[in-house]
């Protein structure tokens, strides 16, 4: 009997520990992206249409907000955490555990804010690009639907409603999408390629995932910047805060514009729709310089000697 137990222990000891990643990282990233896209965009979208309708209206906007919130948690966050743990063994090792300094957070906020202002100007210039008359009506219609949907989702009539909008439109995507993209996807793309290719390709995929052709270029830039922040900081917290800042500013901007529509004084302070292009270009130059300056200081603050983070 004792000999049997001794042999059993030897067999158990001889079994190799589970090695991570479990499968080839690039293949895993592709499979995970397709699977979560199907879950979140197709299945989640189909359930929303079945139960609540195909479009956001003033009468169903609250239901649509909470259905979006539930879909982000159930069809995006939970599958990501499960797949991350299965593929890479430890969630903490993928997301990073280093506590960022206040200076890093401030510089990341300044960086993403200035980047957003730069691309606000870019979008004005983009709208000036003439299109063939055969497709212009269709493009205008799609843009109008997207803008109206976003406007309904973020417009609030009271402070409690505005807080709900911040939770659903600003905070939840910042957490869920960062864990998916700057966490699981960037980790596996980096393992399969290089650090730089990992965050660049993640940024491009992040932009395409949003299915908004009008914001494709700004979203690519934002995604790449968030990926850089993840690499440089050694933690998911910094890109989460930057992502939240970007969403927060968008919500506040849309809310202020809604107030301006009924206030000639506010509308005047914000500027007319047909703003002079020289003002737009000046704003872009100023925002671009602020972004580059914040990036330069951020590189200094997060040097290896200061943080121990290897880039």
| Residue 263: inside a domain | yes
Residue 224 counted as domain residue? yes
Q: Provide the pLDDT for residue 51.
A: 83
Residues in the chain: 311
- DSSP reduced 3-state for 101: coil
Q: Which of 267, 243, 241, 55 is nearest to 145 (CA)?
A: 55
Predicted TM-score (pTM) of this structure:
0.88
Residue 119 maps to a domain = yes
* CA 221 – CA 103 distance, rounded (Å): 22
- Mean pLDDT for the stretch of residues 245-267: 75
Q: Which of 298, 284, 294 is nearest to 123 (CA)?
A: 284
Residue at 79 is within a domain:
no
**In angstroms, rounded to a whole number, what is the distance separating the alpha carbons of residues 308 and 302?**
8
Number of separate domains in the chain: 1
Residues 252-268 have a mean pLDDT of: 65
Gap between the Cα atoms of 243 and 246, Å rounded: 5
Which tens digit of pLDDT belongs to each residue from 272-289? 456 788 899 999 999 999
177 has a pLDDT exceeding 80? yes
Rounded percentage of the chain residues whose pLDDT exceeds 70: 86
pLDDT of 84? 96
In the predicted model, is pLDDT for residue 310 greater than 80?
no
Query: What is the rounded average pLDDT for all residues in the chain?
Result: 88
- In order of 3, 13, 19, 141, 197, the CA distances from 9 in angstroms are 10, 6, 21, 70, 45
pLDDT reported for residue 309: 53
**54 located within any domain:** no
In a domain, 213, yes or no: yes
pLDDT attached to residue 59 = 85
Report the 10 Å Cβ neighbour count for 58. 8
Angle, CA of 144, 147 and 149, to the nearest 5°: 105
- 307 pLDDT band (50/70/90 cuts)? low
82 within some domain: no
Give CA–CA dist 237/102, Å, rounded.
12
Q: Provide the pLDDT for residue 261.
A: 58
Q: How confident is the model at residue 38 (pLDDT cuts 50, 70, 90)?
A: very high
pLDDT bucket at 53, cuts 50 / 70 / 90: confident
Res 257: pLDDT: 77
Q: Which residue has better confidence, 189 or 59?
A: 189
What sign results for the dihedral spanned by CA atoms 176, 177, 182, 188?
positive
Find out whether 237 and 100 touch, Cβ atoms under 8 Å. Answer: yes
Domain span including residue 160: 98-307
pLDDT reported for residue 276: 82
User: What pLDDT is recorded for position 260?
Assistant: 63
Residue 83 lies in a domain: no
């Amino acid at each position: 009997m004792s000999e049997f137990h001794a042999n059993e222990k030897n067999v158990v000891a001889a079994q190799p520990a589970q090695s991570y990643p479990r499968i080839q990282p690039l293949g895993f990233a592709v499979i995970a992206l397709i699977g979560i896209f199907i879950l979140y965009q197709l299945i989640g979208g189909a359930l929303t249409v079945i139960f609540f309708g195909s479009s956001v209206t003033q009468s169903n906007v609250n239901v649509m907000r909470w259905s979006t919130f539930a879909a982000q948690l159930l069809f995006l966050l939970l599958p990501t955490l499960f797949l991350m743990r299965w593929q890479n063994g430890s969630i903490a090792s993928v997301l990073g555990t280093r506590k960022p300094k206040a200076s890093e957070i401030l510089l990341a906020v300044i960086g993403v804010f200035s980047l957003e202002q730069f691309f606000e100007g870019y979008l004005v210039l983009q709208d000036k690009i003439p299109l063939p008359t055969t497709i212009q009506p269709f493009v205008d219609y799609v843009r109008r639907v997207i803008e109206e949907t976003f406007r309904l989702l973020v417009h609030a009539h009271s402070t409690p409603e505005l807080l709900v909008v911040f939770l659903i439109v600003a905070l939840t995507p910042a957490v869920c999408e960062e864990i998916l993209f700057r966490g699981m996807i960037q980790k596996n793309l980096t393992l399969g390629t290089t650090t730089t290719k990992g965050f660049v390709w993640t940024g491009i995929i992040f932009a395409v995932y949003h299915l908004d052709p009008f914001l494709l270029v700004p979203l690519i830039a934002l995604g790449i910047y968030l990926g850089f922040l993840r690499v440089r900081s050694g933690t998911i917290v910094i890109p989460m805060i930057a992502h939240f800042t970007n969403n927060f500013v968008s919500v506040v901007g849309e809310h202020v514009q809604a107030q301006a529509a009924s206030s000639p004084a506010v509308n005047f302070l914000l500027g007319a729709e047909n703003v002079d292009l020289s003002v737009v270009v000046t704003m872009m130059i100023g925002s671009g310089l602020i972004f580059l300056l914040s990036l330069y200081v951020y590189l200094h603050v997060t040097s290896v000697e200061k943080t121990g983070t290897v880039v």
